[in-house]
Amino acid sequence: MSAPKKRRTAQKAPSQAPQVDLDYSKLAAEILRQQSAAVPVTETIATPAGTTSPSSSASSVRSQLESSAHPVASSSSIPSTESGQQTDPQPSRPLVDSGITSMLDQVFGVSDCVQESTMAGQNTDRAATCLTTDLTPAAICLLQASLSNSSRLAYRRSWHLFLEFQQSTIHLPAPITLLCNFIGELFLRGYSPASIASHVSAISYVHKLLNYHDNSHSFMVRKLLRGTQMNQAPDTRLPITKSILLRLLDAIQHTVPSFCDRIMLKALFLTAFHAFMRLGELVPRSGKESHKVLQRPDVSLSPNVSVSFTLRHFKTNKDSSPIVISIQANPASSACAVAALHEYMRVFTHTAGPLFQFQSSRPVTYAFVSHQLKLAIQFAGLNPAEYKGHSFRIGAATEAANLGFSEHAIQKMGRWNSDAVRRYVWLKSFVL
């Protein structure tokens, strides 16, 4: 009987062990530390440091929208479905700094916004960085070739705007609220519906490359893009018709003191009109764009016969293929573009660089032509606020319509890929 009693005593021994004093504050701190270590790092893209908020620097804001403008929603907001119900955000996947930066560099080329931006994160997602670490040089070249040079430059500018717009960090995938507010800000700053859609398309492109969910195709974003089209401001630019063009050619004889500049501007005005040229296709806005305008080697002139332009860079050039524009001479007209270009090339004998240059061999700038056009319009007794560089192109379409050319023919002459030409045709009223 004594043995069992000893075993029962042994079993009760642990309950009689002395109690251990615990430091609960240290225990709680250790639990919090372990929980913090287990939280995944979210992917962020830091915006350029030292930039100014676009909403505070916007030059003009539509007065009817000022009272209803809302502050930019945080990028961590919960996105909504098309039915309006909130859903859990898609888990963010962290990226290494070199991953997103190298991807933007390789796809869009080296950009100022990429160089100025810092991208924080940890290397925990192989799928997101495979574009820069796993693709062979041949594959990267093919990826670059999928976009034209103009598209890469445009998408690069779009991402600069997007990073500049959101002063705090941007989480990918970009929430619907952030995209909607970005669209609203661009609209208030006066961007056209086509430009806004292009910027959203650039954001969408990067999301697709990284295999992220693309919120730019959500119902709300599509509706906002449609709203920009419905609220588009009317085009107030008037056409420079042939009669107005003749008045401007007479005006520059009084407003331009330099004889050589008068010859150059006459040739430029007539070329812009007869070739349906955008002013930006003839003269650059900055020195960096000098190679994108019409070049002297791309002009073939046969005096008193015709002139041919090989245009390599223009807005609707989707496949980077050059086109040839020919203008026939009209010796009986005082507004003959061929005769004006022949006289210009006799005085300006350069054989390389942009077609239109000063005597100093510097490219003629967009700002110079715009200023001289304004002075000529004022001298002719017209309102300079109603006539811009694009008025040459509008006037050419209007004159062609008055001469009986079909809409299809005008669209082809002006290199329009859509029915946008309809906005530019101003027909004369019936004489009653």
Higher pLDDT, 189 or 5: 189
| Cα atoms in the Cβ-side hemisphere of radius 13 Å centred on 216 | 18
Structural domain spans, the chain? 72-230, 242-424
* Phi, psi torsion values for 110, nearest 5 degrees: -65, 125
pLDDT surpasses 90 at 26: no
pLDDT surpasses 50 at 39: no
Helices (H), 166-257: 176-188, 193-209, 219-230, 242-255
Q: Does domain 72-230 have CATH number 3.40.50.20?
A: no
Q: Find all residues with CB under 8 Å of 241, minimum gap 6, and list them.
A: 395, 398, 399
**355-365: string of b/e by CB count within 10 Å (b at 16+)?**
bbbeeeeebbb
pLDDT surpasses 60 at 124: no
The whole-number pLDDT of residue 37 equals 53
Q: What's the gap between Cα 356 and its chain centre?
A: 26
How crowded is residue 285: how many other Cβ atoms within 10 Å of its Cβ? Answer: 15
CA-angle at 379, arms to 375 and 382, nearest 5°: 95
Q: What percent of the chain has pLDDT over 70?
A: 63
Of 314, 341, 345, 347, nearest to 328 (Cα)?
A: 341
CA-angle at 191, arms to 185 and 192, nearest 5°: 130
The whole-number pLDDT of residue 232 equals 65
CA distances from 404 to 241, 242, 352, 401, 429 (A): 15, 15, 39, 5, 15
* Phi, psi torsion values for 64, nearest 5 degrees: -75, -10
User: What is the DSSP code (8-state) at residue 58?
Assistant: -
Average pLDDT over residues 295-307: 90
Q: Find all residues with CB under 8 Å of 150, minimum gap 6, and list them.
A: 313, 317, 320
Predicted confidence band of residue 318 (pLDDT cuts 50, 70, 90): low
Of 119, 414, 88, nearest to 272 (Cα)?
A: 414
CA-angle at 66, arms to 63 and 67, nearest 5°: 115
pLDDT surpasses 60 at 9: no
CA-angle at 52, arms to 46 and 53, nearest 5°: 80
Burial of residue 109 (CB within 10 Å: 0-12, 13-18, 19+) is middle
Helices (H), 166-192: 176-188
Report helix angle 366-379 to 259-274, nearest 10.
90
Q: Give the range among 61-65, 177-181, 334-338, 360-364 with minimum mean pLDDT.
A: 61-65
Q: Find all residues with CB under 8 Å of 61, minimum gap 6, and list them.
A: 69, 188
pLDDT surpasses 60 at 379: yes
The whole-number pLDDT of residue 165 equals 86
Of 193, 112, 190, 197, nearest to 157 (Cα)?
A: 112
pLDDT surpasses 80 at 112: no
* CATH of the domain spanning 242-424, picked from 3.30.1490.190, 1.10.10.10, 2.170.150.70, 1.10.443.10: 1.10.443.10
> What's the token pair of residue 234?
């009317």
The whole-number pLDDT of residue 71 equals 40
pLDDT, tens only, 41-53: 334 444 443 334 3
**What are 306's strand-pairing partners?**
302, 328
pLDDT surpasses 50 at 317: yes
On whether the CB atoms of residues 337 and 273 are closer than 8 A, the answer is yes
Is residue 390 classed as helix, strand or coil in its secondary structure?
coil
> What's the token pair of residue 207?
């999301």
